[in-house]
Amino acid sequence: MDYLNEIQKQAVNEYNNGLIVSASPGTGKTKTLVARANKKLTNLPKHKKLALITYTNAAADEIASRLDYKENDVFVGTIHRFCLEYILRPFSWIYKWDKPKIASYSDFKEFLEINKLSTIQLEDLNKIKKNLDGSLIIPTEWLHKIPFEELSRIYYDFLKERKLIDFNEILFRSYIIISKNLFTAKSVSNIFMEISVDEFQDTNIFQYEILKKIKNNGKTSFFIVGDEKQKIYSFAGALNETFTIAKKDFGYEILDLNYTYRSTEKIVTGYSKLFSDHPILINSSKYKDIPFDIRFHQTKKDDNNLYIKQIIDSLIKAKAQVGNIAILTTSWFDAYNIGSYLREYFNIIGLGALPHSNISNTVFAILKTLSRYSVDSSIRNLKIIKRNIELLILEKNIDFNDVKEIVFATNKLISQFQKININTGLKESLLQYQNIISLIFKIDVPEVDEILTIVNDDEASNWNFKKYIETLSGINGITINTIHQAKGLEYDFVILNGINENRIPYQRCVDHIKYIYEELTDDSIQNGRTLLYVGMSRAKIGLFILHNWKPSMFINQIKL
């Protein structure tokens, strides 16, 4: 363990009953989490497992690639996947619930069409969720004609009739099962020697209560990792002061990682100024002494994209690698706009790189990993394909019970995918991919229809399969994304775009004619602070902060 510092070694080797780790940016959170898991695996009792619960599937793939483990010894995945696999599927019989099948894009689309809800968007449906007691959570703002309660009623009726559940319902049902039937919590605890939880600061009430029930009804230890200063999912229900609450409920100490290895001293100093009580960090980064000032620039709407291009041109001229440059924004709309402009000049990955908007489903995730494997056929990428196939099997209730079946399906999928002619047009190649998935797994694949629906027809003619999979692979291109999606990532050079008043902190416009915005609150100011903190701390060497004529209230604080 020579590669760990002394505090990291403590976290890995001691506190066998459980620990909470507070990890500021670049302090080796993931390295420590993986090192502890690998150490636990060397002494894993027979018939016991480890679980590493992540916030995103991408984070799960990254952690899984670093672990040295046998297939049946470790679960690595999101809380939704954990609940599906270890709570919902084994125990749905208690309430005579059908085996859960996850609602897809086509299901949501059908719901909106049959109910003639043309003004309702998919993101509106995601607002339909419940409190712990099963009562409906009423959003603070609802501008549609149909009452929210009425929409929720017909939505839940639709899901019940189709025997479907959405991601919010996964957590609600799992909570009901495990809180009202304590033998289920004991059963889950008996499976796992230790459960690690990454990005704990963004845990919501359902996730927290599920984990607490497992802790209180067995001997499972917990290794909880995160950073309260990086809590950027309050809008998704992330709890306040989760570390303080967990310290009391779980009975664990909080250990601070205070050596940072990512950024220059100027960047660390800059983002530390956002918090008056920021912990003192010992900068051990190899970039520490690079004299690259944080650069601020005011742009106008009509020259913003051009200015970003000029920054990139100057970085490339100075020998920066395009794969180490990222443009991060506060909204996907801005990111897509910038990406659409820049892809005429550079190889772009992320938002705006493709001839359609961003898509989030497992079928598309498999397409991305297959594309990456086509460009880089590494063992790591092969494992990620297999992990995504396992998730598809879980979500779609596919009857694959044998590991050999999954391996065979993985190999067949790769083989068939690589037979698609690289010169085939985009839409035709996507239809071929849809057919391959359908034949191998014997399922309908409406997720590909979702892609085809939103592909820009004018651009589609300029794309063949080769260009599409190279772009989709996400290898060796300038990253364009939202700050939210960049959490956990790092780049040599980061351009933060749109760090304006009303954006950070966010203020909703209540009068578009007079440009009147809602008042700032303590919560909205804190949310803006943490979002900017996450964005700034992605940079290792150079940081550019762009704003309009009304910069964010935090700009002067950083400049002091």
- Known binding-site residue numbers for ATP: 23-30
Question: CA 303, CA 306: separation in Å to the nearest integer?
Answer: 5
Question: CA 473, CA 8: separation in Å to the nearest integer?
Answer: 34
CA distances from 260 to 275, 284, 483 (A): 17, 6, 20
Instruction: Compute the Cα dihedral for 478, 307, 263, 286 and give only its sign.
Output: positive
Peptide linkage before 505 cis (omega within 30 of 0): yes
Question: CA 342, CA 325: separation in Å to the nearest integer?
Answer: 13
Question: CA 214, CA 278: separation in Å to the nearest integer?
Answer: 33
Q: Strands 295-298, 539-547: parallel, antiparallel or unpaired by DSSP?
A: parallel
Annotated binding residues: 23-30
**Residue 491 · residue 326 · CB < 8 Å:** yes
Look up residue 70 and give its two tokens: 């046998």
Q: Which residues pair with 225 in a beta bridge?
A: 21
Torsion of CA 336, 203, 26, 6, to 10 degrees: -170
List strands edge to edge, sheet with 192-197: 74-78, 49-54, 192-197, 221-226, 19-23, 254-257
Residue 382's φ and ψ, nearest 5 degrees, are -65, -45
Torsion of CA 480, 82, 238, 33, to 10 degrees: -70
Which residues, in sequence order, are CB contacts of 377 under 8 Å at separation 6+?
Answer: none
